[in-house]
Amino acid sequence: QVQLVESGGRLVQAGGSLRLSCTVSGRTSISYTMGWFRQAPGKEREFVAAISWSGGTTYYANSVKGRFTISRDNVKNTDLQMNSLKPEDTAVYYCAAEAYGLGSGTAGSYSYWGQGTQVTVSS
C-alpha cells in the first residue's frame, strides 16, 4: 500500500510564492512518477506538473509553465514551488503517484492520490 500526504497549502497574496510538499510512505522500494493536479470549486481536476520516476524529465501545464517548478530529492519527497501566484491558481492541490509512470497529464494514469491541500490566492 502507498500513502501520499501533501502539505504547505495556505492563504497567500497574489504575486507571492508557496512551496507544496508531497511525502510518499508505504512501498518505497520502487520508484514513482509523481504528479500534481488541482481542482477549483465547480471545475474538473486539472494537471499541473509531473516529474518522471528517474527525476530526469519534468512536465508542466501551459498555465503554470515558467511560474511553477516540480522537483524531487528522493523516492519519498516531491515538491512544487509556486511563484508569481495568481487568484486563478486557487484550488485544492493533489499529489499523485504512479509506479514507473510515463509522466502523463491524465489523472487516470495515476494509481495513488493524496487527500489534497488547499491553496488560496487573494487578489
3-state secondary structure the chain: CEEEEEECCCEEECCCCEEEEEEEEECCCCCEEEEEEEECCCCCCEEEEEECCCCCCEEECCCCCCCEEEEECCCCEEEEEECCCCHHHCEEEEEEEEECCCCCCCHHHCCEECCCEEEEEEC
pLDDT at 76 over 90: no
Asked whether the predicted pLDDT for residue 102 surpasses 90, the reply is: no
Residue 22 contacts residue 114 (beta carbons within 8 Å)? yes
| Residues 12, 3, 9: CA angle, nearest 5 degrees | 5
Quickly state the pLDDT bin for 27 (edges 50, 70, 90).
confident
Task: Provide mean pLDDT across the span 12-34.
Answer: 93
**pLDDT score, position 103:** 78
Taking all residues of the chain, what is their mean pLDDT, rounded to a whole number?
94
Q: What percent of the chain has pLDDT over 70?
A: 100
pLDDT at 64: 98
**pLDDT band per the 50, 70, 90 thresholds, residue 29:** confident
Decide if pLDDT at 75 tops 80. no
Residue bearing the bigger pLDDT, 56 or 4: 4
Does position 14 have pLDDT exceeding 80, yes or no? Answer: yes
